[in-house]
Structure 1
Amino acid sequence: MLNEKKLEMAFKRYSKNFVEGIKYDEVKEQYEERKHEIKSIVELNEIEKDHILLIDLSSISSCYFSKWKNDVLINGGRKFDELKKVQKVVFYQCMGQELYITRYPNMRVRYTFSEVITALIHFTMFGWEREEKILFDFIIKHFGRHLMDVNDENRHIWFLLELYLQYRNKTIMGTNQKLHLIVIEQLKENGLEYDLIPESLDVYQAVLEQWSNQDLELTGNLVEGMSLYHSKLAAEIGSLGEFGDFGYAFYPYEILFLIYVRKKHRLPVPEHFDDFLMITPEAKMIIDDPEPYPEWDPLLRLIDDFYRKNYPDYIPNKQGELFQ
């Protein structure tokens, strides 16, 4: 049973964190501090130091992540503007990381599997099909290897990836059903780490088996089950584990993606929600179809132009102009 009081208190902690903890003004200062470093490397064309540009992308992401929280969570906005920039940075972290496979084969990857799948799902919901395809191709190319370590414990991420595969009629390792189990077996055979990957997707398995049903009441029950699962974990804000962090604890994007996919298939979806999770500010953001591309961050543009200039094999060089 869900402790509603505990959940509400957790949400207050979640919101307070972006007022008294991770303050946008302080994060913006860190962004400004990186500006000189990035401009110096680019202007001097310091290729021997350019891996620092990849590292500095995290500061750009943090800046817009904090601004998103400030705009939506604190000030009651309804738009995805700043979150779009966060997902865009994840894309360029992937594109840049591939450049250093030979020079720095053991270089720490600047993103997580969860972050990349989250970006893929948002690109899909935003209607950015070109960038979605490029990112998916990157995932496939490096799946299970150093640049795409899939030893991830988050059930909702495996749910999102499998639902995406079924929605787009794609496969990974030859399947789009119970992918997590196939991945466990494949990694085990290859002597790679797989211990964090869940053997059960819990409530999400039932959703995957029935997401395309025609029954509105059944769909409502599935959404209710997902919301309950998410809410119980979000109520433990500050703890380790799924939905226990201050990033997406009260942003039910796995449910929003299910609703998006059903709408695309012209299947009935619930129009109103009463549970706490689904009426939080982040849950009520409005997604346009398609979402316009965000403005380019000037530092991200500098980094992209630098990589395009110096690395012919840089993936965006083969794709022309992106995000416009």
Structure 2
Amino acid sequence: MVNSKKMHLAYKRYVKNFVGSNAVNEYEEGKNEIVEIIDINDTERDHILLIDMDNISSFWLDVWKNDVLIKNGRNVSALKKIQQIKFYQCMGRHIYRERYPSMKLIDYSFEYSIIALIHFNLYGWVKEEKIFFDFIVKYLGDNLMEANDWNQHIWFLLELYLQHTKQEIEGTNEYVHLAVKSALTNREQPCGLIPEELGIYREVLEQWNTPDVDEITHLIGRMSEHHSTLASELGKSLEFGNYDYAFYPYEILYLLHVRKKQGLPNPSHFDDFLMNLPEAKMNIQDPEPYPEWDPVLRMIDDFYRKNYPEYIPNHHGVLFE
């Protein structure tokens, strides 16, 4: 049972966190550093371009939260930029795979990669989605895509994505977390944090394509309660406890998207707190137009394309246009 008072207090802190943030100053500092490196074509220090992508992402996270949480808007343009940046963090990280094998980035993770992947699918960005999925599969478990992730909902999203798109990882699209854990164990790659069970998410995966709208409504209600309980532990819970996405029910919104694409009925409304928050009410088109490029991200992409023939986007022509 969700502690309503605790949840509301956590949500107030969630919103307040983005009031008067320092993201603009950090963005400008990163931009100045990036421009300096690009102007002299400094390939000895260009890994800083990748590191500073965190500042770009943080800036657009702040824009998104201000637009939606604080102003109660429904525009997804800034959120789209965030997911685009995650894609380019992966593409950039590939360049430094051998030069800096242990490089760590703040928001570069399996979790954020899967979140970006399902948003690409949600937005209908077919070309970029395929590139991103192939990257995840190819490097799953190594230093480019460490998959030792404890988040049950992330493994739920990956399995639902695979079943929806009729694709596989490690030869399956069922009980994917266990298949990946077994494969990584055999390859002696870290996997001890991957959960053995998915709880409510296993129940949903068994019934996600039910034609019974009452059944899916009940399951979504349980998902929402689970999400809300964990989000109430803002800053403490490992799952839904961070300020980026704590009260953004993207796993439920993606389930609704998949069911809609499969021609299955969805609930017409929700009565719970989480599904009536601004981030659950954003206007998402099908498909979504590509976002306008962040100018600093564009400079970084141009730099990598010019200096690194192995840069993955070089093999795919124009992207996000």
Are residues 1:180 and 2:177 paired?
yes
Matched, 1:121 2:118: yes
Query: Aligned match of 1:248 in 241, 245, 249?
Result: 245
User: 1:48 is paired with a residue of what secondary structure?
Assistant: coil
Are 1:28 and 2:24 an aligned pair? yes
Equivalent in 223, 226, 247 of residue 226 of structure 1? 223
Deviates more, 1:4-13 or 1:217-226: 4-13
Aligned to 1:269: 266
Letter of the 2:85 partner, please give it.
V
Q: Does 1:66 align with 2:39?
A: no
Q: Tell me the secondary structure at the aligned position of residue 52 of structure 2.
A: helix
1:121-270 matches, within 5 Å, as 121-270=118-267
Give the Cα–Cα distance (whole angstroms) in 1 for the partners of residues 102 and 228 of structure 2. Answer: 38
Q: Does the CA contact (< 8 Å) of 1:220 and 1:270 recur in 2?
A: yes
Deviation at 1:105, TM superposition (A): 2.3
State which of 81, 88, 91 in structure 2 corresponds to 1:92.
Answer: 88
Which letter does structure 2 place at the counterpart of 1:7? M
**Structure 1: which amino acid aligns with 2:9?**
M
- For 2:103, the aligned partner's letter is M
SS in structure 2 of the partner of residue 68 of structure 1: helix
Q: Encode CA deviations 1:37-75: one digit per residue, 9 max, x unaligned.
A: 111111111111111111111110000001100110000
CA drift at 1:273: 0.4
Task: Provide the aligned C-alpha RMSD in A.
Answer: 1.0
Q: CA deviation at 1:271?
A: 1.2
Which letter does structure 2 place at the counterpart of 1:260? Answer: H
Alignment of 1:108 with 2:94, yes or no, is no
Where do 1:34-73 residues align within 5 Å? 34-73=30-69
Counterpart CA distance in 1 for 2:273 and 2:17 is 19
TM-score (norm 2): 0.98
Q: 1-side partners of 2:146 and 2:131: how far apart?
A: 18
Equivalence map 1:260-299=2 (5 Å): 260-299=257-296
**Secondary structure class of the residue paired with 2:278:** coil
Q: 1:82 aligns with which of 71, 78, 82?
A: 78
How many matched pairs? 320
What's the CA shift for 1:191? 2.1
1:12 equivalent in alignment to 2:12: yes
Paired residues of 1:109 and 1:147 also in contact (CA < 8 A): no
In 2: Cα distance, 1:238 partner to 1:311 partner:
39
Q: Which amino acid letter does the alignment assign opposite residue 13 of structure 1?
A: R
SS in 2 for 1:66: helix
Moved more, 97-106 or 155-164: 97-106
Q: Deviations over 1:289-315 (max 9, x none)?
A: 111111111110000000000111111
TM-score normalised over the length of structure 1: 0.97
Structure 1 residues without counterparts, runs of 5 or longer: none
> What is the SS of the residue equivalent to 1:18?
coil
d(CA) in 1 for partners of 2:121, 2:255? 12
SS in structure 2 at match of 1:243: coil
- State the alpha-carbon separation in 2 of the partners of residues 60 and 83 from structure 1: 12
Structure 1 residues 273-295: Cα deviation after superposition (integer angstroms, max 9, x where no partner): 01000001101111111111111
Q: Which moved more, 1:8-17 or 1:260-269?
A: 8-17
CA contact (8 A) 1:97 1:109 kept: no
Give the letter aligned to residue 92 of structure 1. Y
Structure 2 segments unaligned to the other structure (5+ residues): none
Deviation, structure 1 residue 109: 4.7
Which whole-Å deviations, capped at 9, do the CAs of 1:52-103 have from their partners, x for residues lacking one? Answer: 1111111100000011001100001101110111111100000011011222
